[in-house]
């Protein structure tokens, strides 16, 4: 490890403005207040519905940030090592997401129809509220614990040996360092935790997809709905990593570590996985036609043939697949940062609308996005950014202790 680079990266933490952290905290508080006022008011359903949309969207991005880091480690990918810490920073929201998951069950009567209605057998066995609560909460807690162990060791190999210069949570992570032998042991542990995170992610977020989106319609079921949700979250996390890393690079002066080749490659990932997402999208509709299952067409018709959701569904398809896939074909669009950030922002917006289209038509006949819904959504965004900036203020923005971190970029591909 280059100690000079580590000292330089650690010093850059202070460049993250405290004012920005407080601004996002205030936005989060305003959003929380708007939710409470609406939930206790005359139309609580509207507040709970937009809460569920945002919970599934932001929690998916947060956990998928860790998943991207795990994939880089499992595949020994050197090309995106400099992006690894920003993607891990997204996971700083996951402890908050656990609290929000418990809040979801507080409002179950407004957003989970099976909490008050009797579904036919055997669905009513699977959708027993105690069973739903147990598998989702326990599953997410296990995933959170494993993810935090992974994150702890990822940070520890960067901070080992400088604990005396650090304070707060960074000092705790770095404490008790026993030398280079421990760095080798950490590398082995990361290799074991990474696949565990991926398996738990696929399992737990499939439960989320089935229980909090698919089952809102008593007649709809799809074995691909879980992968459709967690892969969509992964793509949104790629887009979020692109946007935040560009802003972090400019603010902290990380251009020597985050050069054009990194964005060219992650842009190709965003493009490729958007194609995979639309494959999962289409693969769920195909069996309804060739197996002649008219009982399942209601879910689809409500979203692709009936207004007001028909137009919104086309916006989702355009934003999540058509636009990013076509826009990312030119090489220039993958390396010119403002263009890439715009494409990523359109993709992320599309995936938020995707959650909206999947959830709201099962609970309501109309699109109801007013000031309260906007404030609640901004509250989630503010809380997410508050946690992310706290994380980046505490820890090095580049994984300087990773064996595959190649130092300052030479401009080529790795």
Predicted confidence at residue 68, as pLDDT, reads 98
Residue-wise pLDDT tens digits, 216-248: 988 888 889 999 999 999 999 999 999 999 999
Q: What is the CA radius of gyration of the chain?
A: 22
pLDDT at 397 over 70: yes
pLDDT at 410: 58
Q: Please, which pLDDT band fits residue 411 given cuts at 50, 70 and 90?
A: very low
- Digit-coded pLDDT (tens) for 265-293: 999 999 999 999 999 999 988 888 787 77
Instruction: Select from 6, 3, 17 the least CA-distant residue to 250.
Output: 17
Higher pLDDT, 301 or 66: 66
Buried b / exposed e across 55-90, counting CB within 10 Å, b at 16+?
A: bbbbbbbbbbbbbbbbbbbeeeeebbbbbbbbbbbb
Check whether 54 has a pLDDT greater than 90.
Answer: yes
- Continuous H helices in 318-412: 323-327, 332-335, 337-363, 371-394
Structure tokens that stand for 237 in this block: 């996390």
pLDDT of residue 1: 63
Question: In whole angstroms, what separates CA 271 from the centre of its chain?
Answer: 17
Q: Token pair of 226, please?
A: 């879980």
**What integer is the mean pLDDT of 207-223?**
91
Quickly tell me which residue has 């715009």 as its tokens.
Answer: 342
d(CA 162, CA 185): 18
Does residue 395 contact residue 158 with C-beta atoms inside 8 Å? yes
Give how far the C-alpha of residue 85 lies from the chain's centroid of Cα atoms, to the nearest Å.
Answer: 14
Q: Percent helix, strand, coil in the chain (nearest 5)?
A: 80, 0, 20
pLDDT for residue 183 is more than 80? yes
Residue 412 has pLDDT above 60, yes or no: no
Cα 219 to Cα 123: distance, rounded to the nearest angstrom: 10
The pLDDT value given to residue 205? 98
CA distances from 290 to 226, 283, 284, 298, 302 (A): 21, 11, 11, 16, 20
Distance CA 286, CA 290 (A): 6
As given in the structure block, the two tokens for residue 274 are 């958007």
Helices (runs of H) and strands (runs of E) counted in the chain: 18, 0
The answer to whether residue 413 scores a pLDDT higher than 60 is no
Contact criterion met (CB below 8 Å) for 347 and 235: yes
pLDDT of residue 223: 86
- Is pTM beyond 0.85? Reply is yes
Q: How far apart are CA 25 and CA 314, in angstroms?
A: 34
Containing H/E element for 146?
helix 129-159
Q: Are 44 and 111 in contact (CB under 8 A)?
A: no
Q: What is the pLDDT of residues 118-153, one digit of tens each?
A: 887 788 888 999 999 999 999 999 999 999 999 999
The answer to whether residue 173 scores a pLDDT higher than 70 is yes
Q: Give the SS3 label for residue 65.
A: helix
C-beta of residue 362 within 8 angstroms of C-beta of residue 14: no
Average pLDDT along the chain? 93
pLDDT, average across residues 182-192: 94
Residue ranges per domain, the chain?
A: 3-394
**pLDDT per position as a tens digit, 298-336:** 888 888 888 889 999 999 999 999 999 999 999 999 999
Contacts of 74 (CB under 8 A, 6+ apart): 191, 194, 195, 198
Instruction: Provide, rounded to the nearest whole percent, the portion of the chain with pLDDT above 70.
Output: 99
Nearest-angstrom CA–CA distance, 253 and 368: 42
Gap between the terminal Cα atoms of the chain = 18
């Amino acid at each position: 490890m280059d100690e000079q680079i580590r000292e330089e990266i650690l010093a850059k933490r202070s460049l993250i403005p405290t004012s920005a952290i407080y601004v996002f905290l205030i936005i989060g508080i305003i959003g929380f207040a708007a939710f409470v006022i609406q939930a206790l008011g005359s139309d609580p359903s509207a507040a709970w519905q937009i809460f569920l949309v945002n919970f599934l969207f932001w929690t998916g991005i947060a956990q998928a940030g860790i998943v991207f880091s795990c994939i880089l480690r499992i595949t020994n990918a050197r090309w995106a090592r400099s992006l690894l810490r920003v993607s891990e920073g997204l996971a700083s929201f996951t402890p908050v997401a656990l609290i929000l998951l418990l809040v979801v069950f507080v409002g179950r009567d407004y957003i989970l129809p099976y909490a008050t209605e009797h579904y036919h057998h055997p669905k009513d066995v699977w959708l027993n509220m105690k069973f739903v609560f147990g598998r989702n909460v326990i599953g997410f807690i296990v995933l959170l614990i494993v993810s935090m162990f992974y994150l702890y060791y990822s940070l520890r190999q960067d901070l080992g040996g400088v604990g005396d210069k650090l304070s707060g949570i960074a000092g705790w992570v770095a404490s008790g360092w026993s030398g280079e032998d421990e760095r080798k042991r950490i590398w082995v542990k990361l290799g074991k935790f990474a696949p565990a995170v991926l398996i738990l992610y696929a399992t737990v977020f499939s439960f989320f997809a089935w229980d909090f989106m698919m089952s809102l319609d008593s007649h709809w079921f799809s074995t691909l709905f879980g992968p459709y949700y967690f892969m969509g979250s992964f793509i949104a996390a790629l887009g979020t990593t692109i946007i935040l890393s560009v802003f972090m690079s400019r603010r902290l002066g990380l251009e020597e570590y985050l050069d054009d080749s990194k964005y060219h490659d992650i842009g190709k990932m965003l493009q490729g996985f958007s194609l995979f997402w639309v494959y999962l999208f289409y693969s769920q509709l195909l069996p309804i036609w060739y197996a002649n299952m008219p009982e399942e067409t209601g879910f689809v018709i409500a979203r692709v043939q009936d207004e007001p959701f028909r137009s919104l569904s086309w916006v989702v398809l355009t934003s999540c697949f058509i636009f990013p896939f076509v826009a990312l074909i030119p090489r220039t669009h993958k390396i010119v940062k403002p263009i890439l950030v715009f494409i990523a922002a359109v993709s992320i917006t599309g995936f938020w609308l995707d959650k909206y289209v999947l959830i709201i038509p099962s609970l309501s006949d109309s699109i109801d996005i007013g000031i309260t819904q906007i404030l609640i959504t901004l509250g989630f965004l503010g809380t997410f950014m508050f946690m992310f900036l706290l994380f980046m203020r505490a820890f090095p923005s580049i994984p300087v202790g990773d064996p595959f971190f190649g130092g300052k970029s030479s401009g080529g591909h790795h």
